[in-house]
Amino acid sequence: MDEPVVRARDLRMTYGRTEVLRGVDLDVAAGEVVALLGPNGAGKTTTVEILEGFRLRSSGDVRVLGTDPGRGGNAWRARLGVVLQNWRDHPRWRARELLAHVASLYERPRDPDELLAVMGLTEQAGQTVSRLSGGQRRRLDVALGIVGRPELLFLDEPTTGFDPQARREFHELVERLARDEGMAVLLTTHDLAEAERLADRIAILVGGEVRACGTPASLAATARASSEVRWIEDGAPRGERTSDPSRLAFELHRRFGGPVPGLEVRRASLEDTYLGLVATGRGDRREVIEESGRAA
């Protein structure tokens, strides 16, 4: 089997005396989109910066495109796409001019005009970066990240500031690049819907550890053991968590001798799994389950 594009084993990082990565294992295969999810301070940026070669790890075995990122040279770096936010430090450049300039640094760049069209920026091609809206700048950031035809693309919160149409087009573009060109993508996002929509696999990082990793469906299924049934009884809202909601609904139906007022069954979702894991990381899992178990 081919070596994965990203392979990290027991990756550790310590800032001073604080260990912020505590043995992260992560793989990304060619053509695969992996989302790294986690609360603020979980270690996502640190992980990504180490994989990009911008930060040296404290320990662990890490290979990116077959190379230790701590030792990757320019030829290796040219195979990575990194969506940076600092292109706005070039406010006087025109969008097309900047894209064409960055394209000229690569051997096999994409056509800047085609890319502007794909990103919905054709009309803004002659505008200076300073005059683009927030969402347009973000789209230009993404265009700059993929103009060099990278084999591995790092996307940090890519669709922040996109309108719904631009977000959908961007998701379709990433899917196409992964499927048709075999580009691997490592995405960090706080948007669970985006992770669910885009990622083949999701790794949930909490407190510097990967607490769960799997397809969006398999992660949602781990929380499915606790679906929630809600109903109204004696005028008051009631709720119960159960692994067998249809049995509980059946029992309620019998107890009420007919239709159960306000009966609702809520299947667990990726969000439940995520919040459960995050809460466990903070040692307050019980609190969150009780809160969400309370009938609204």
Q: Which residues bind ligand ATP (CB under 6 A)?
A: 15, 20, 38, 40-46
Long-range contacts from 123-126, C-beta under 8 angstroms, 24+ separation? 124/95, 125/94, 125/95, 125/96, 126/94, 126/95, 126/96
CA dihedral of 186, 187, 192, 193, whole degrees rounded to 10: -100
Nearest distance, CB of residue 49 and ligand ATP, angstroms: 8
Cβ closest to ligand ATP, residue 45 vs residue 67: 45
Sheet holding 264-266, edge to edge: 236-242, 227-233, 264-266
Closer to ligand ATP by Cβ: residue 53 or 245: 53
* Closest approach of ligand ATP to the CB of residue 185, in Å: 17
Q: How far is the CB of 65 from ligand ATP (least distance, A)?
A: 22
Q: How far apart are CA 255 and CA 190, in angstroms?
A: 42
Cα gap 161→231, rounded to integer Å: 39
- CB of residue 95 to ligand ATP, shortest distance in Å: 27
Question: Hey, how many other C-beta atoms are within 10 angstroms of the C-beta on 240?
Answer: 15
Q: How far is the CB of 204 from ligand ATP (least distance, A)?
A: 11
Q: How near is the Cβ of 272 to ligand ATP at its closest, in Å?
A: 20
- The strand pair at 209-214 and 201-206 is best described as antiparallel
Q: Which is nearer to ligand ATP, 6 or 248 (CB)?
A: 6
User: In angstroms, what is the minimal distance from the CB of 150 to ligand ATP?
Assistant: 21
Cross-strand pairs, 239: 230
Q: At 211, is the secondary structure helix, strand, or coil?
A: strand
Number of Cα atoms under 13 Å in the Cβ half of residue 155: 32
Q: Give the single-character DSSP code of 224.
A: G
Cα dihedral 175, 179, 184, 185 in deg (nearest 10): 10
